Chain A
């Protein structure tokens, strides 16, 4: 049961979280907001960006701010699943008898930074599947539950593709958001350089702990969603399927495989958090539309035509949104939407 105290606490903690992350990460507001929304909503995040734009720093900062145990796994081609999940090792007890004892891998933490995840082989990548979805790890037939909250924050470099293994659809689908980390602007770059001249160390303090995070998630889950907004969000997901009954024209042309039901779940969960972060107690179409980009962009398998025409996933999502908004007559009254509301339409690093 949500109380007034929960709401106030949510608001206060959100403010603190952004404030503390802002001490370590210059700019990238949309990226930070996306990552925080995903963490509150309980989702995993894939950060994609060229080297040096602050992906790893952001993840480390998040770990500090949420005051949660943090593990970093540098994915390499020779990394094995056991290196991630842990394995049974033989130990001798006091009597000199040898026994198998489970040695937990780095995945047994609350926040996992899977750095350059696409450099590991698919076998190793798959070691994360169970952990990301069920929050359990099974080794030698024994399932072990991971401690909540549990997040995987993975990074990948979209440029250097040699020696990499693109994440399979099943793996991609387990990331709630795929956030594009862009290069900082000139002003941000100046601030970054100025800051790092003083110290490279992360200075963010903890703004909340794991329990607080779970409480925030529970609070956000209570946010009401009008049926028609929920229907719209599901239509948005279904519209990415070229063979569904509500397939959009863009999907028919450019999408080979659409978003899974996980996309719908992620969209609504994240939209609730976003609404509450914006001080609203209901989910709006704008929330759904803004989050459609990070939720859907990695869940669509594009056609050769889209690749040949260099149509990005974000452009396809935009086409689908425009089509649905017009179809459902959800266009704002001209010049009626308050400017303040317009400014809040975040794009989450849309290309």
Chain B
């Protein structure tokens, strides 16, 4: 840059340098916040870098942009100063003076003297700052956008708001769930929710493996022999398969009988009931192969088929849980025991009959009601 040689120029030059610095700062703010906005947007959308990177990029770009703007665009040279001073009413005296400063002719000398005289009369403070309005407006807009985007990144980092990528490509809400599947092998089915989705650490709702007629439940493929099962603290997806075995005559009788014995428990429970459960009572008392009937009975109430009674050597102890009974929606399975709504309704009618005759229900019936409702 050409040096400002003329002493009269120094103050004007200094004033225009100040103006150039202000313009460079505004330009730097514009560039910095634009870069900040872009970096913050990238950080938000691609989850890259984060808030400090966005701020850093903005700072570096702003400072570099401001410096570059000053040296490449706004820094005043001597002709710019001369032009601006001339606009104060000097009518191009200073510009001409500079251009003809090497001219030794009389008229050029006269012109210089005239220009210097006029220049002395012009206060440098009259040189007003010219700040481009468009630049200021753009810088303000960039400031708002940049700081706003940076705030968004900060909030996204704090997980107050979702990141940009989450908005554009939201995660599959099911992806975080773990699938637990209960499958039934041949000869049975699963009562309850067979496909369960759980968050890690959650437990499943109970399911029950129910054998079809002529089949019996043996156990689950993981060795669990309890037909009813539920899992707790699930961490991995898994599938459980219930295994059933067909009940055959002969060699299988013993098992049937034993199973029948378990089912007989229901019969035992029915045994004490006043009516409509005679066959079960009897079968239960027999403790033998009535099992076949018991195992496939709907609720222990149905009549036994009698086959097992004749041929099986049932070993049942009458304490069976009745799990082998056919599950119906009307039944309630509570604390490992099955309660039957149809029995309830029947007993309820009986109880109403007794109450209408001012009688008193038997203690067994009372116990049934208490157990049933207490369980529910």
Chain A's closest residue to B128 (CB) is A333
Flag if A2 contacts B106 (CB, 8 Å): yes
- Contact of A336 with B92 at beta-carbon distance under 8 Å, contacts A2-B106, A281-B107 already known: no
Flag if A224 contacts B106 (CB, 8 Å): no
| Minimum CB–CB distance for A292 against chain B, Å | 16
When distances are taken between beta carbons in the complex, the residues of chain B under 8 Å from A287 are: 91
When distances are taken between beta carbons in the complex, the residues of chain A under 8 Å from B84 are: 333
When distances are taken between beta carbons in the complex, the residues of chain A under 8 Å from B110 are: 4, 7, 281
When distances are taken between beta carbons in the complex, the residues of chain A under 8 Å from B147 are: none
In the complex, what distance in Å separates the CA atom of A332 from the CA atom of B86?
9
| Minimum CB–CB distance for B86 against chain A, Å | 8
Interface residue? B100 (CB, 8 A): yes
Flag if A229 contacts B128 (CB, 8 Å): no
Partner of A333, one of B88, B100, B103, B115: B88
- Contact of A337 with B88 at beta-carbon distance under 8 Å, contacts A225-B96, A228-B95 already known: yes
In the complex, what distance in Å separates the CA atom of A285 from the CA atom of B108?
18
When distances are taken between beta carbons in the complex, the residues of chain B under 8 Å from A200 are: none
In the complex, what distance in Å separates the CA atom of A275 from the CA atom of B93?
11
Digitize B117-137: 1 where CB-to-A-CB distance is under 8 Å, 0 elsewhere: 000000000111000000000
Within 8 A of B (CB), among A278-315: 280-287
- Contact of A222 with B88 at beta-carbon distance under 8 Å, contacts A229-B95, A333-B127, A333-B128 already known: no
Chain B's closest residue to A287 (CB) is B91
In the complex, what distance in Å separates the CA atom of A283 from the CA atom of B93?
8
Within 8 A of A (CB), among B61-119: 83-84, 86-89, 91-93, 95-97, 99-100, 103, 105-108, 110-111, 114-115
When distances are taken between beta carbons in the complex, the residues of chain A under 8 Å from B105 are: 1-2, 222
When distances are taken between beta carbons in the complex, the residues of chain A under 8 Å from B96 are: 224-226, 229, 281-283
| Minimum CB–CB distance for A326 against chain B, Å | 13
Flag if A224 contacts B100 (CB, 8 Å): yes
- Contact of A226 with B99 at beta-carbon distance under 8 Å, contacts A3-B106, A334-B128 already known: yes
Chain A's closest residue to B111 (CB) is A281
Partner of A280, one of B91, B99, B106: B91
In the complex, what distance in Å separates the CA atom of A127 from the CA atom of B249?
145
| Minimum CB–CB distance for A216 against chain B, Å | 14
When distances are taken between beta carbons in the complex, the residues of chain A under 8 Å from B88 are: 332-333, 336-337
Chain B's closest residue to A344 (CB) is B91
In the complex, what distance in Å separates the CA atom of A284 from the CA atom of B108?
15
Chain A's closest residue to B86 (CB) is A284
When distances are taken between beta carbons in the complex, the residues of chain B under 8 Å from A285 are: 91-92
Flag if B89 contacts A282 (CB, 8 Å): no
When distances are taken between beta carbons in the complex, the residues of chain B under 8 Å from A334 are: 128
In the complex, what distance in Å separates the CA atom of A334 from the CA atom of B87?
9
| Minimum CB–CB distance for A327 against chain B, Å | 14
Interface residue? A223 (CB, 8 A): yes
In the complex, what distance in Å separates the CA atom of A214 from the CA atom of B128?
44
In the complex, what distance in Å separates the CA atom of A282 from the CA atom of B96?
7
Which among B87, B97, B105, B114 has the greatest number of chain A C-beta atoms within 10 A?
A: B87
Flag if B107 contacts A286 (CB, 8 Å): no
| Minimum CB–CB distance for B98 against chain A, Å | 8
Flag if B87 contacts A332 (CB, 8 Å): yes
Partner of B89, one of A4, A7, A330, A336: A336
Chain A's closest residue to B98 (CB) is A226
In the complex, what distance in Å separates the CA atom of A229 from the CA atom of B92?
8
Flag if B92 contacts A226 (CB, 8 Å): yes
Q: Which residues of B contact A (CB under 8 A)?
A: 83-84, 86-89, 91-93, 95-97, 99-100, 103, 105-108, 110-111, 114-115, 126-128
The 9 A-B pairs at the shortest CB distance, nearest first, are namely: A284-B91, A282-B96, A281-B111, A337-B89, A284-B92, A226-B96, A226-B95, A338-B89, A2-B107
